[in-house]
Amino acid sequence: MKIAIPARNGQVNEHFGTTQEFAVIELENGKVKHTKLISNEGLQHNHGGIANMLKNEKIDAIICGGIGGHMIQALQQLGLKVVTGAAGPLEKVAEAYAAGTLVTRPVQCGCGGGHHHHHHGGGCHH
């Protein structure tokens, strides 16, 4: 299984749209087998460009913190599974996903909770 996680300093970058690199993690028997970082320099907020870059890595899922609705749609249109609401160290999050114990929260960009997903101006302000 291969997953991608927006990364910052070894942690899940909580705002997908601003991430400058992704960790592509290969899992085998529930453990991290291989990790590589790929840069998305110049693709921030480019939904189609990021989605295609990740699809080309032949990943099965994207695990992230906050993410906008348009980016989720772009990824799902390419057949990628999107898991939101993750936080913490990359390898720990990846192994929790593999074990089926990753607890996700239905958040978009971390702006608000529950079923209220409002994006005024198209962005999030943290």
Q: What is the CATH number of the domain that holds 93?
A: 3.30.420.130
Q: Does residue 114 lie in a domain region?
A: no
Q: Does residue 118 lie in a domain region?
A: no
The count of domains in the chain is: 1
Range of the domain at 37: 2-99
DSSP state of 85: S
Q: Does residue 122 lie in a domain region?
A: no
The pLDDT of residue 47: 79
pLDDT digits (tens, 9 = 90+) for 40-91: 887 767 778 889 999 999 999 999 999 999 999 999 999 999 999 999 999 9
Whether 106 has a pLDDT exceeding 80, the answer reads: no
Q: Does residue 108 lie in a domain region?
A: no
Q: Does residue 76 lie in a domain region?
A: yes
Whether 32 has a pLDDT exceeding 70, the answer reads: yes
Q: Does residue 110 lie in a domain region?
A: no
Q: Which long-range contacts (CB under 8 A, 24 or more apart) does 33-36 make?
A: 35/90, 35/91
* pTM: predicted TM-score of the whole model, two decimal places: 0.81
**Could you tell me if 12 and 86 are in contact, meaning their C-beta atoms sit under 8 angstroms apart?**
yes
pLDDT > 70: percent of the chain? 82
Q: What is residue 72's three-state secondary structure?
A: helix
